[in-house]
Amino acid sequence: MLNIKDEKNGGDLIVELEGRLDTTTSPQLEEKINAVIDGVSKLTFDLKNLEYISSAGLRVLLSAQKIMNKQGRMVVNNPTEEVQEIFEVTGFSDIFTIQ
């Protein structure tokens, strides 16, 4: 299960993820991002409550990063130890700005 909470303030969009971002839930996130990303200059993913991310979830974050490379910037905040480890093993820690 994945809970997505988003808050848009002008050009800033904060997306909080809670639960598991996997093959089952990643289409839900992709749909949400595509619906709200127009006009966003800073996209922040808050992952403090994300328990797990699969390759499907990484793909969604990567496609958001590619969009934001053209229109602004993307930041990943507060990854859990488990999620941070997945970022490091897959090399995504070199792609994303992680705070």
| First vs last C-alpha separation in the chain | 25
Max Cα distance, the chain (Å): 35
Q: Which domain holds residue 72?
A: 2-98
Confidence of residue 68 (pLDDT cuts 50, 70, 90): very high
* pLDDT per position as a tens digit, 74-85: 999 999 999 999
Residue type, 72: G
* pLDDT per position as a tens digit, 9-53: 999 999 999 999 999 999 999 999 999 999 999 999 999 999 999
The domain that holds 24 is classified in CATH as 3.30.750.24
pTM: 0.95
- Token pair for residue 94? 């070199």
What's the structural domain count of the chain? 1
Strand 2-9 with 12-21, pairing: antiparallel
